[in-house]
Structure 1
């Protein structure tokens, strides 16, 4: 494992100190909660660097893990204008890398290894600090679409579309490396020079290292081996959530048939108020009750009818087992949680890897991939007809029984075995 083989061989596992570092949305932070808990169960001391959002700090504090804030609020950045573009991405990346250079040295004091996840410049910045500090390093990815593979094309960055005449996947991945260097290379290497580190030729290859970890479920997200990259698929890092549901939510669930849940997590969904109206009307048209998750889009109710209820942050593992379907944005975490619960899904992808997860849901037969990010009452009603079909529900429950539940423990043991 890159950077770990050189560590002392006589160290006891209960002496190991680990720094987990990320920058991103809830979907980037929540897996670290699972890994941190499993590492502590094995005797390690764990710290986490993450965006300074209050809900992230509260979530980690709830499992007894201390968090050090890095960069600006992820929620504010996600909902801010203007959105990420070719023009502003380099500056945002340079600022993010600089903030990590400021925070990680103190946070990593006494640590033997650093695990980095999240946005590409965050991973590259974290590895630079591991290099500077002389500690072990592992990169972890929560979706495989950024890992170079001849089996599929890469995602294009904002403002940098691929030439339509280029169709060979290997050529597209070469262009992907060039785009990443153009967007993030100057910011990374300027910050590296400030602490005496040499420049990096390929930001992407440097960030991932020789053996990146893919922290996704092999049933939901099968990795096809490639000779160019030695990927370790650990399974998704999910921690069993024992938090009870709020009493008022329990009362709503008990008052009628299982509702359809509608929520878009950490996404600033286009036209949040209109999205809520469309979803509620489409679900009601199918004769179902509606449960609206407010999320970062701040979705809300459109009237005071008693067939509809709104919730904030709740235990999705408990909740998704009590709904008849889940309408969501297609984040890796939400897709995995719904699949584990056996809940049929309608995925309305907004950006990045979300169309991929929508496609996987459709391919597995556990739900529907909505065509495009902006649903109408008609399009969502059509999707719900398939999702609410009894055959889809049977298939969802069947797949739920095959989804792995031990990914975080697998990763924790791999990490500590390699270090010690």
Structure 2
């Protein structure tokens, strides 16, 4: 069988589908990933067939950092990505038996599957992104949305969310569907998510809430095994003293002054720091030997050797830290990051920093809590419950579809 795995987003969306593609290949199947060009070379270095779609995500994110697009800019962005996806996904789907849409922005995947008469699966990477009476929809701050004030029920909020999907995506999606000989859809979100979405998230860290009025198939997180060694420079730093604190914000912007606040706070607690530059291009504040700046790294190996992980709360980083047994401090900024911050707090494996930008006092309180021996012990205990077979489970289900 041949599978097309389609997604739009940053590393947090692309890495899980690459993990699934590699698992499918190990099971003797063909798989191709259709995703932004940022990750083309990396995926092909892993032996994964890759088709690029749309513009470079990192460059686009930098250009729009901290700004909310105007209605006209938003319309142009939406029309552009829908058109680009239909073209790229349709071409990449040639000879495929099933298309998997990973994440909510994989707008064209279901329509292309429908047009080609092949199977389709939608997969979410966090429970909060799927409709449920147990939680409110995530907030898209880049679209100017604000959190609900608490007086509105979750069912009403999800109904409003469906209306927003139709208003934003309905016209460009249906224009492409008509061009492909398909009838228009009235419920955009329902069309993309289907009535039986998959949830590629760990059931201990991010369980689907019960009782549920929706049939959700939770496979576990699609984790990409990483056997890369740490660099000699990083190994030397780790060996030179007590376990340091890791700080990184992955593929999102970092709060203003985050590097200095983090380093000052860690020093006040007697800790060294490993600072990940990430897409925010974080840099050290001085040349003191108690801090080290790094680029892309094997998190699975590194997180087992740090005292705590301070990060943005993306699904991938949160899962990697939880699986390694490292206490966490999550400084959420957008979308599902607030959910993962709450889960880390609820599980007792770290701290959910307030949604405001960190100050010396707020970060000191959050990191002090995470470094508590009881929290560290709890993090190690929970790590034993985090599954690593999610991609295998998903691949097996996909193969059994035919």
Could you tell me the TM-score, scaled by structure 2's length?
A: 0.95
Deviations 1:95-142 (A, max 9, x none): 111001111222111110000113x3x323111111111111000000
Asked whether the equivalents of residues 101 and 129 of structure 1 are also in contact (C-alpha less than 8 Å), the reply is yes
Asked which structure has the greater RCO (Cα within 8 Å, sep 6+), the reply is 1
Residue 416 of structure 1 aligns with which residue?
399
- Distance in 2, matches of 1:205 and 1:251, equals 52
Q: 2:50 aligns with which of 64, 67, 84?
A: 67
Residue 4 of structure 1 aligns with which residue?
none
Whether 2:392 is the aligned partner of 1:392: answer no
Deviations 1:324-371 (A, max 9, x none): 100000001100000000000000001111111001000000000001
Residue 188 of structure 2 aligns with which residue?
203
- Distance in 2, matches of 1:159 and 1:308, equals 37
Residue 354 of structure 2 aligns with which residue?
371
- Distance in 1, matches of 2:240 and 2:363, equals 25
Judging changes above 3 Å, is the alpha-carbon distance between structure 1 residues 128 and 231 closer, same or farther for their aligned structure 2 residues?
Answer: same
Residue 242 of structure 1 aligns with which residue?
227
Asked whether the equivalents of residues 85 and 107 of structure 2 are also in contact (C-alpha less than 8 Å), the reply is no
Q: 1:314 aligns with which of 266, 288, 297?
A: 297
What SS class does the counterpart of residue 378 from structure 1 fall into? helix
- Distance in 2, matches of 1:156 and 1:312, equals 29
What SS class does the counterpart of residue 305 from structure 2 fall into? coil
Deviations 1:16-59 (A, max 9, x none): 00111100010001111211111111110111001001xx1233
- By how many angstroms is 1:86 displaced? 6.3
Judging changes above 3 Å, is the alpha-carbon distance between structure 1 residues 335 and 164 closer, same or farther for their aligned structure 2 residues?
Answer: closer
Residue 197 of structure 2 aligns with which residue?
212
Residue 11 of structure 1 aligns with which residue?
none
Asked whether the equivalents of residues 91 and 187 of structure 1 are also in contact (C-alpha less than 8 Å), the reply is no
Whether 2:280 is the aligned partner of 1:297: answer yes
- By how many angstroms is 1:373 displaced? 4.2
Deviations 1:211-259 (A, max 9, x none): 1100000101111246542110000001221011111111111111111
- Distance in 2, matches of 1:152 and 1:164, equals 14
Residue 29 of structure 1 aligns with which residue?
14
Residue 18 of structure 1 aligns with which residue?
3
Asked whether the equivalents of residues 125 and 315 of structure 2 are also in contact (C-alpha less than 8 Å), the reply is yes
Residue 190 of structure 1 aligns with which residue?
175
- By how many angstroms is 1:166 displaced? 5.5
Judging changes above 3 Å, is the alpha-carbon distance between structure 1 residues 74 and 288 closer, same or farther for their aligned structure 2 residues?
Answer: same
Residue 342 of structure 2 aligns with which residue?
359
Asked whether the equivalents of residues 255 and 358 of structure 2 are also in contact (C-alpha less than 8 Å), the reply is no
Whether 2:171 is the aligned partner of 1:181: answer no
Asked whether the equivalents of residues 51 and 69 of structure 1 are also in contact (C-alpha less than 8 Å), the reply is yes
Residue 350 of structure 1 aligns with which residue?
333
Whether 2:123 is the aligned partner of 1:155: answer no
Whether 2:286 is the aligned partner of 1:327: answer no
Residue 50 of structure 1 aligns with which residue?
35
What SS class does the counterpart of residue 48 from structure 1 fall into? strand
Whether 2:257 is the aligned partner of 1:265: answer no
Judging changes above 3 Å, is the alpha-carbon distance between structure 1 residues 251 and 160 closer, same or farther for their aligned structure 2 residues?
Answer: closer
Unaligned runs of 5+ in 2: none
Write out the 4+ residue segments of structure 1 that deviate beyond 6 Å after TM superposition.
none
What SS class does the counterpart of residue 106 from structure 1 fall into? helix
Residue 10 of structure 1 aligns with which residue?
none
Whether 2:86 is the aligned partner of 1:112: answer no
- Distance in 1, matches of 2:388 and 2:68, equals 35
Unaligned runs of 5+ in 1: 1-15
Segment drifting more, 58-67 vs 408-417: 58-67
Q: 1:101 aligns with which of 80, 86, 103?
A: 86
Judging changes above 3 Å, is the alpha-carbon distance between structure 1 residues 165 and 41 closer, same or farther for their aligned structure 2 residues?
Answer: closer
Q: 2:24 aligns with which of 29, 39, 60?
A: 39
- Distance in 2, matches of 1:165 and 1:318, equals 41
- By how many angstroms is 1:171 displaced? 1.4
Judging changes above 3 Å, is the alpha-carbon distance between structure 1 residues 405 and 165 closer, same or farther for their aligned structure 2 residues?
Answer: closer
Could you tell me the TM-score, scaled by structure 1's length?
A: 0.91
Q: 2:366 aligns with which of 378, 383, 386?
A: 383
Deviations 1:150-204 (A, max 9, x none): 1111124423457758512211111110011111111111222222221110110
- Distance in 2, matches of 1:111 and 1:193, equals 22
- By how many angstroms is 1:210 displaced? 2.1
Judging changes above 3 Å, is the alpha-carbon distance between structure 1 residues 307 and 229 closer, same or farther for their aligned structure 2 residues?
Answer: same
